[in-house]
Structure 1
Amino acid sequence: MTASGTIRAGLPAVVRDQRPAAAGTLPRGSRPATRHLPTRLRPADLLRIADQGAADILDGRYDALLPSRWDRTTRSATRLERRDDLELWLVSWVDDGRSELHDHAGSLGALTVMSGSLREYHWTGDDLRVRVLGAGDQAAFPIGWVHDLMRDPQPAGTGPGPAPTLTVQAYSPPLTAQSYYEVTEHGTLRRTRTELKELPE
């Protein structure tokens, strides 16, 4: 083996093979950019954690943390767990309790709807797309996801003060900041402010 062959043999495969990759493919031995996220957890992990959190609530594991009565006029959040790389919340959504169009800064997120239904307006890059998540539905939010969440309005005639929509929400790393946005008259997204956060939205 030549000297250059010896040197090349000691390099990682991604460095050894410098031939250009075909369009749309990754070089041999490389991984998608998700390995550079600020957490070891992935959206699929957070979906599983949120779902398990909902099951644990139903099993009574968090009874000591939950309110004896839900406030039907103000959105509220109860932290269920917090670790270095994860936090888990139970959020109560009420009418007129919009979260505003926002991101989660450097955190990934996921939620499970426990009861009621939630309406999400998600920025697609061109406009806002709406979807409704009902009890048992889940959604994940990668870094860069911009959305607004609100309790799905009740049908007319259901009476005042309906029970809140409840969601279990997991974030990794734990939320520390969120940026807020507005859609401009040109159909683009404009950041209006960034805030340090104690509670999820």
Structure 2
Amino acid sequence: MTIAESPARSYGPTPLTLDELVELTRATAEEVRAGLHEIHFDAEHRWSVRLRSDTYADIWLITWTPDQSTTLHDHAGSLGALTVVDGVLTERVWRVAAGGAGLHDRALVAGRGVAFPVGYVHDVVNTAAAPAVSVHAYSPPLTAMSYYRVDEAGALRRTHSVLTHDPEPDVPTLSEVPTGPRPAHPDRGLEDR
């Protein structure tokens, strides 16, 4: 399934469903496993590259060395999904349940895909000793992200929001969507932000 194959719908912020986004990340994860996309690990910053983009969605490849994490965040008005290609990631999800609200951890192992609706707040971290690789899709493409902390009373508090077109604000990423073969050297084409 490619991004453009999804039929257009006349409702919601995107024509894609959460299930379709998970399928996009799973199909792209298979491409990564087959060696069709080059990956790079950077112990200082999570490395990412946008693999595909159109008016409906962006698909990103992200690598994680041990102890790398996002910060507790949402994806503003975008739906999202991720599939772990290799390794294990821990997702910390903010949930409101009958017993109260709080962060709940779940392990995301290679091959596991998860979806997140608008308003979903989570953090992803590599707590394992080995690197991990994941594929992420956002629809509509990201335009903003908000960041959060849990305060002393256990309540979720937004700390700030940023306008961004990629899931890794403030870290080096490829500036353009690749249209042909990837460069032989993984650092070629990276920009410092």
User: How would you bin the TM-score normalised by the shorter chain?
Assistant: 0.7 to 0.9
Is the radius of gyration larger for structure 1 or structure 2?
Answer: 1
Choose the corresponding residue for 1:47, options 10, 13, 22: 22
Determine if contact 1:181/1:192 at 8 Å carries over to the other structure.
Answer: yes
Letter in 1 for 2:25: A
Q: How much does 1:187 deviate?
A: 1.7
Q: Say whether residues 1:191 and 2:158 are aligned partners.
A: yes
Separation in 2, partners of 1:181, 1:71: 25
Q: How much does 1:167 deviate?
A: 0.2
Unaligned runs of 5+ in 2: 1-9, 169-193
Determine if contact 1:132/1:152 at 8 Å carries over to the other structure.
Answer: no
Q: How much does 1:93 deviate?
A: 1.0
Partner of 1:200: 167
CA RMSD of aligned residues (A): 1.8
TM-score norm. by structure 2 comes to 0.75
Q: Secondary structure at the match of 1:41?
A: coil
Q: How much does 1:36 deviate?
A: 4.3
Separation in 1, partners of 2:85, 2:34: 13
TM-score norm. by structure 1 comes to 0.72
1:80-95 map, 5 Å: 80-95=51-66
Determine if contact 2:58/2:139 at 8 Å carries over to the other structure.
Answer: yes
Q: Say whether residues 1:119 and 2:90 are aligned partners.
A: yes
Query: Which range is displaced more, 35-44 or 108-117?
Result: 35-44
Separation in 2, partners of 1:165, 1:193: 28
Determine if contact 1:92/1:167 at 8 Å carries over to the other structure.
Answer: yes
Q: Which has the higher helix share?
A: 1
**Percent identity over the alignment?**
43
Partner of 2:7: none
Q: How much does 1:173 deviate?
A: 0.5
Q: How much does 1:37 deviate?
A: 2.1
Deviations 1:61-114 (A, max 9, x none): 43xxx24x5324421111100101111010001223211110000001101101
Unaligned runs of 5+ in 1: 1-34, 155-161
Aligned residues: 156
Letter in 1 for 2:122: H
Separation in 1, partners of 2:41, 2:64: 10
